[in-house]
Structure 1
Amino acid sequence: MGAQNCLRLAMLCVLSVRLAVAAPVETGLVAHWTLDGVANDRTLDATSRRPARIVGASAAEGTVGGCLRFDGKDDFAEVGDLGTFGAVTLAFWMKPGQVERTDDWQGLVSSDAWEEGVFHLPVRNGTIDLYLHLGETRRARLSSPRLRNGVWYHVAVAADRPANNMRLYVNGEVVDSTDLAGLATNFKLKAQVFGRENGGRYFRGALDDVQIYGQALTDRDVRTLCPDATPLRRDLRNLRTGNRIPDEGYCDQPYVVVTKDGNWLCLLTTGRGPEGDRGQHVISTISADKGRTWSEPVPLEPADGPESAYSAPLLTPSGRVYAFYGYNGDNLTSLDGWKGKFRGDMLGWCVTRYSDDSGRTWSERHRLPMRATACDRSNDWQGKHQIWWTIDKPVTHGGHAYFALTKLGRYMLDMGEGWVFHSDNLLTEPDFAKVRWELLPEGEHGIRAPEFGSVQEEHNVVPLSDGSFYCVYRTTTGYPCHSYSRDGGRTWTKPERMTYAPGGRPIKTPRACPKVWRTSNGRYLFWFHNHDGKSFEGRNPAWIAGGLEKDGFLLWSQPEILLYDPDANVRMSYPDLIEQDDRFWVTETQKTVARVHEVEPALLQGVWNQQETRSAATAGLVLNLDEARLGPHEASVPGRLDLRETGGLSVEVWVTFRDLAAGQVVLDSRNEHGAGMALLTTEGGTVRLVLSDGKAKATWECDPGLLTPGKLHHLVATVDAGPRVLTFVVDGVLCDGGSAREYGWGRYADDLGDVTGTGRLRVAPTLTGSLRCVQVYSRPLRTSEAIGNWRSGR
């Protein structure tokens, strides 16, 4: 790029910043310090002339007009008490000068107080690090992606106690959000201060245009405050970057259809209490902007009536939308002899309402004829009442409609089996009284196999192109089961462990919803959690595999991480898939927060094309050593490998071991303090990746039993710094632990920074064997890319 073009680009960048500040949103504005004028160590609030007392900070050129510059030593500006609010927004511009500091927090728009309802809003270790005091030892915490020095960023925090949520924005986009469960007081803007944290922790940089609102601004409102700001590069997989779907506190199964008018209609189960409480009911809400904002919810059933739950929508060719859900129509509230919490959310009737105006209004309730079977007659009510629920979004095939459900033979959550409702005229018959239904399979027993135990539940089905149906469901064996029907659901093959290919490696997942979808391109996707835990835990990350049909069976790709939360304890489940305009989104719920997330197209194309791709990845390749340069020696690694900047890394080797003795060093860049990375052999006959930035350390190794002396192997070790996950792909297969361990991938707890080490990579210093190729990437390769590299080098 020539000097003239560089100058033009720089002028455009400056212009975009100078035009970024917009007029404040007038509704609810409590205070607005433009910071344009400073006189007698004071700058005035433009709304009420309230002064901010300046100590040390100096005037400088800001985004538009003036700003305050802070030296990071003892500069600050005092504002004082601004009041108490049920909802509040803090918005401002900031330009950090030493964002990488890790020794302490640097206060931005913060407080000298620290008690329940008080915000602290500093920057630390490269990110905005927001805390809200929730009382006692509880805190709500939000954080931003990494920031750079010398760049103006618009920051906003919107907190809403009645809506039970708090959102952090950077440059007009949500970068993190959380619920506020347990906050017993309103928000307190007490002892407010700019440029300092309580205890004298100071900000180095500049602040401009501070605005305080006595309401939680909407996404659209926040964007109007910084219309020209460039959104940060976000990891779309990060759960916290998704757009929230409205709820009443508890939320479940946020399922969406794209209606005839192009809007999204979402059905979900919600309530003010936790899952299973009285008051749980089904609502609908509409988005006209692909999930960014949502309409006021419409209840299909009232919160003060019998429980309604677990709805699933179906769009018909006429534009009518059906909502199928469970309804405790007999209003059961107890069971003789039951000593635990009694739940009515999976008891009673299967019902539907329909909407002919895309979800704005709903018909009267209609009950589906769910025939009693042996499972019902053996339950706690001897078949007088049925125990069931559905997580299956209805599908259509050949002009017919289908959806799966799970019946239980014993309260609560025991002796499950799968059934499928089928209608041959629902899609065309406007008079619901004339709609025909049958419950499949034929006979007395549903889809289950005794050897998989009592828990066989959350069945869901998709049609195949040849007219067959494919069913997946969860168990407590550490594996989902699958089954095929070749006669329209009337009979099913005996369920087996779900495998990546017929007779192949089993797919692992715990007791969590395993969701299968058929997409409009005739391909398939499978949501699961990729470990063989037996409980409800371990639902983070969510993994996705792509499926293709071959000879009447589904073949599944090696999986990719689809979504994660940085907090490994957060769980997600009950997803739905949305397709519109050749784009894909998924919804999910954590039971208190439901969100929608756009999916990166390359991720889906990767899992669908994985079995054919033979191209090697080149983006991010910083070191490439071929066979001619692979004797024992040192190679320089260009640039720094700071995982906070790169998002991770991948190390790839083609290696032949003469033996698998422990302690062989394949690669090593560690310095005398242990900072750097290394590939080593272990006593278990595996290869271990070791990483350290001098403070934090992470290690993981490939699955045992995969390496054979004398055989050429391809290994890709990857550090994905977003979810903090370490993976190995060995000879084109992602390690999943096999029968040796629950997890084939590891999650590290402490944030890893610069793992460059010496900057010199020692190659094969003590390897008993030979290397054919070594490659280092300054980014994490996706599973599909690692497999592509393996195929290209075979």
Structure 2
Amino acid sequence: MPDLTTEIKRTKPDYTVFAPASTDPTGATTGNEHFLVERVPGSGLIAIWTQSSIEGADDQHIVFAHSLDEGVTWSQATTIAGPDASTGNGMASWGFPLVSERGRIYVVFSRHTGVNDIYTHTTGVMTAIYSDDVGKTWSEPATLDLPRSIWDNPDPAVPSNCIVWQKPTRISNGKHFVGLTRWVSPALGDDRVGSVVEFLRFPNVDRNPEPQDLEVETFSTNGDALRLDGYVLQEPSIVPLPDGRLFCVMRSNAGSPFWSQSSDEGRNWTEPRPLLQHDGGPVMPHPLSPCPIYAGPGGEYAFFYHNHDGHFQRFVPADWEPHRRPICLARGRFRAGAEQPVWFSDPFYFMDSGGVKLIREGMSLYSSVTETEDGIVLWYPDRKFFLLGRRITTAELSALEIVDPAVPDKKFTLGVIG
């Protein structure tokens, strides 16, 4: 049995938000993921995540914690949405926050109805609750009106298969904007496309509506959804560019992430293309695993990936979980006039599990960031077990030089992070 007091230090965290007492799954606290930390005006930081004994179990629920000292200490984790113990229905998954200007905290999540299409934890209805007292009390849940898609089961009684994996940010006309993964229903019999990427905007959050009155706008839906024939396209993360465009990175099972851009606040997106280090440069290799990109102060971008296509140690791409390591960091910078508008440094080894298994051994980066005065904090699940935070300063990130192909002899200067 691994020593948890040793393992929690393996990734060199600066903050601890939640640490299970043991690997015993009985209390349904050993699976912790989709870890989203957000700032509430005048009220510190909140953390929202999906918790269970292990991912996809029928005890899956949404958890909330609060910090008043920038993440140094956290309140006791409390369950704010979960299954009905008497029926086993209503498991709650993949919650994400929407914070209004006046501090109302909405949490939107997928609620299982007892009807499966693909996976229990992805088939569900979009549901919302809110709190006006920073998580002390919560409203009754209400179902949101997420339009159905041509990719859904033709039977309207079967819910959609959708996940929002990052927190929405105000990057579309100041409104909360985020990407959505939608799995293609097996009832359609279409093996060419496993999942597609769409986009959501929540335009009336700042009016503090009741949960059922939250408006949901959908972009790139139905035939306009971003997709790859023969592959899956999933888990979009989005950053703003200095010229007003939006830049999106998505994971795939094609051996690398893909990217797209929007010039109209996220309404329309370009055809997905493999993510390169720079125009004309090598593909950024990565398996089917989270690969988020985040914006930080000073026009810097931080991109996290594994730097291999799934062939890692004894594993191959079909080994979908244990090859999700190590975590490498690449610095990104905007390049005006380039085909791919963000170029990247070489990979910097950032952290790893060492292959030590707790509930899992892979480093699935279902993470989030908050900005600080001199950089960002990456809030991440370590092996979907510990919930931790690690500081990255702008100086540390900018130490990773980005090569210009026009100056081939230019050398990288790799700073030491952590």
TM-score range, shorter chain: 0.7 to 0.9
How far 1:784 sits from its partner (Å)? 4.9
Aligned-partner Cα distance in 2 for 1:505–1:586: 26
Match of 1:346 among 118, 122, 133: 122
Residue 375 of structure 1 aligns to a residue whose secondary structure is coil
Equivalent residue, structure 2, for 1:588:
380
Equivalent residue, structure 2, for 1:424:
203
Q: List aligned pairs for 1:521-600, cutoff 5 A.
A: 521-533=298-310, 534-535=317-318, 536=320, 537-551=322-336, 553-567=341-355, 570-572=361-363, 573-589=365-381, 590-599=383-392
How far 1:445 sits from its partner (Å)? 3.7
Contact 1:462/1:470, CA 8 A, preserved across alignment: yes
Equivalent residue, structure 1, for 2:414:
783
Residue 264 of structure 2 aligns to a residue whose secondary structure is coil
Contact 2:196/2:225, CA 8 A, preserved across alignment: yes
Match of 2:16 among 226, 234, 243: 243
User: What code does the residue aligned with 1:388 have?
Assistant: C
1:600–1:540: structure 2 CA closer, same or farther, 3 Å change rule?
farther
How far 1:270 sits from its partner (Å)? 0.6
Aligned-partner Cα distance in 2 for 1:454–1:315: 35
Aligned-partner Cα distance in 2 for 1:361–1:581: 31
Residue 489 of structure 1 aligns to a residue whose secondary structure is coil
Aligned-partner Cα distance in 2 for 1:260–1:237: 33
String of CA shifts for 1:741-790, please: whole Å, max 9, x gaps.
Answer: xxxxxxxxxxxxxxxxxxxxxxxxxxxxxxxxxxxxxxxxx6358xxxxx
Contact 1:442/1:491, CA 8 A, preserved across alignment: no
Contact 1:243/1:597, CA 8 A, preserved across alignment: no
Question: Is 1:286 equivalent to 2:66 in the alignment?
Answer: yes
Aligned-partner Cα distance in 1 for 2:157–2:235: 20
Aligned residue-pair number: 380
Q: Find runs of 4+ consecutive structure 1 residues off by over 6 angstroms.
A: none
Aligned-partner Cα distance in 2 for 1:502–1:387: 35
Match of 2:145 among 350, 366, 369: 369
Aligned-partner Cα distance in 2 for 1:298–1:402: 27
User: What code does the residue aligned with 1:498 have?
Assistant: L
Contact 2:91/2:111, CA 8 A, preserved across alignment: yes
Contact 1:177/1:240, CA 8 A, preserved across alignment: no
Residue 377 of structure 2 aligns to a residue whose secondary structure is strand
1:360–1:558: structure 2 CA closer, same or farther, 3 Å change rule?
farther
Q: List aligned pairs for 1:754-769, cutoff 5 A.
A: none
Contact 1:390/1:404, CA 8 A, preserved across alignment: yes
Aligned-partner Cα distance in 2 for 1:611–1:485: 25
Match of 1:446 among 207, 225, 231: 225
Residue 249 of structure 2 aligns to a residue whose secondary structure is strand
Equivalent residue, structure 1, for 2:185:
410
Residue 323 of structure 1 aligns to a residue whose secondary structure is strand
Residue 311 of structure 1 aligns to a residue whose secondary structure is strand
User: What code does the residue aligned with 2:67 have?
Assistant: S
Contact 2:297/2:374, CA 8 A, preserved across alignment: no
Superposition RMSD in Å: 2.9
How far 1:255 sits from its partner (Å)? 0.9
Seq. identity, % = 22
Equivalent residue, structure 2, for 1:681:
none
Aligned-partner Cα distance in 2 for 1:369–1:428: 18
Contact 1:547/1:555, CA 8 A, preserved across alignment: yes
Contact 2:297/2:375, CA 8 A, preserved across alignment: no
User: What code does the residue aligned with 2:390 have?
Assistant: H
Unaligned runs of 5+ in 2: 21-28, 311-316
Aligned-partner Cα distance in 2 for 1:561–1:389: 29
Aligned-partner Cα distance in 2 for 1:259–1:275: 28
How far 1:486 sits from its partner (Å)? 1.5
Q: List aligned pairs for 1:154-193, cutoff 5 A.
A: 166-167=4-5, 176-177=6-7
Residue 521 of structure 1 aligns to a residue whose secondary structure is helix
Aligned-partner Cα distance in 2 for 1:240–1:517: 19
Aligned-partner Cα distance in 2 for 1:602–1:242: 20
Contact 1:322/1:352, CA 8 A, preserved across alignment: yes
Aligned-partner Cα distance in 2 for 1:255–1:411: 30
Aligned-partner Cα distance in 2 for 1:292–1:520: 21
Residue 376 of structure 1 aligns to a residue whose secondary structure is coil
Farther off after superposition, 296-305 or 404-413 = 404-413
User: What code does the residue aligned with 1:331 have?
Assistant: G
Question: Is 1:324 equivalent to 2:87 in the alignment?
Answer: no
Equivalent residue, structure 2, for 1:41:
none
Aligned-partner Cα distance in 2 for 1:241–1:177: 14
Aligned-partner Cα distance in 1 for 2:388–2:186: 31
How far 1:520 sits from its partner (Å)? 4.1
Question: Is 1:396 equivalent to 2:181 in the alignment?
Answer: no
Question: Is 1:308 equivalent to 2:92 in the alignment?
Answer: yes
Q: TM-score, normalised by structure 2?
A: 0.81
How far 1:528 sits from its partner (Å)? 0.9
Equivalent residue, structure 2, for 1:295:
75
Aligned-partner Cα distance in 2 for 1:566–1:597: 18
How far 1:576 sits from its partner (Å)? 1.4
Q: TM-score, normalised by structure 1?
A: 0.44
Question: Is 1:471 equivalent to 2:248 in the alignment?
Answer: yes
Contact 1:311/1:323, CA 8 A, preserved across alignment: yes
Question: Is 1:257 equivalent to 2:38 in the alignment?
Answer: yes
Contact 2:298/2:394, CA 8 A, preserved across alignment: no
How far 1:596 sits from its partner (Å)? 1.9
Equivalent residue, structure 2, for 1:358:
134
How far 1:237 sits from its partner (Å)? 7.8
User: What code does the residue aligned with 2:266 have?
Assistant: G
1:241–1:521: structure 2 CA closer, same or farther, 3 Å change rule?
closer
Structure with bigger RCO (C-alpha 8 Å, 6+ apart): 2
Aligned-partner Cα distance in 1 for 2:10–2:384: 19
Contact 1:473/1:482, CA 8 A, preserved across alignment: yes
How far 1:363 sits from its partner (Å)? 2.4
Contact 2:128/2:211, CA 8 A, preserved across alignment: no
Contact 1:560/1:603, CA 8 A, preserved across alignment: no
How far 1:316 sits from its partner (Å)? 2.8
Unaligned runs of 5+ in 1: 1-138, 142-165, 168-175, 179-235, 336-341, 613-712, 715-730, 734-781, 786-794
1:502–1:319: structure 2 CA closer, same or farther, 3 Å change rule?
farther
User: What code does the residue aligned with 2:2 have?
Assistant: A
Aligned-partner Cα distance in 1 for 2:239–2:69: 28
Aligned-partner Cα distance in 1 for 2:202–2:70: 31
Aligned-partner Cα distance in 2 for 1:501–1:321: 39
User: What code does the residue aligned with 2:411 have?
Assistant: G
Contact 1:246/1:297, CA 8 A, preserved across alignment: no
How far 1:584 sits from its partner (Å)? 2.5
How far 1:355 sits from its partner (Å)? 2.3
Q: List aligned pairs for 1:642-653, cutoff 5 A.
A: none
How far 1:349 sits from its partner (Å)? 1.0
Aligned-partner Cα distance in 1 for 2:244–2:184: 30
How far 1:598 sits from its partner (Å)? 2.5
Contact 1:177/1:241, CA 8 A, preserved across alignment: no
Contact 2:199/2:266, CA 8 A, preserved across alignment: yes
Residue 376 of structure 2 aligns to a residue whose secondary structure is strand
Aligned-partner Cα distance in 2 for 1:583–1:495: 30
Residue 526 of structure 1 aligns to a residue whose secondary structure is strand
Equivalent residue, structure 2, for 1:665:
none
How far 1:611 sits from its partner (Å)? 5.4
User: What code does the residue aligned with 1:364 have?
Assistant: E
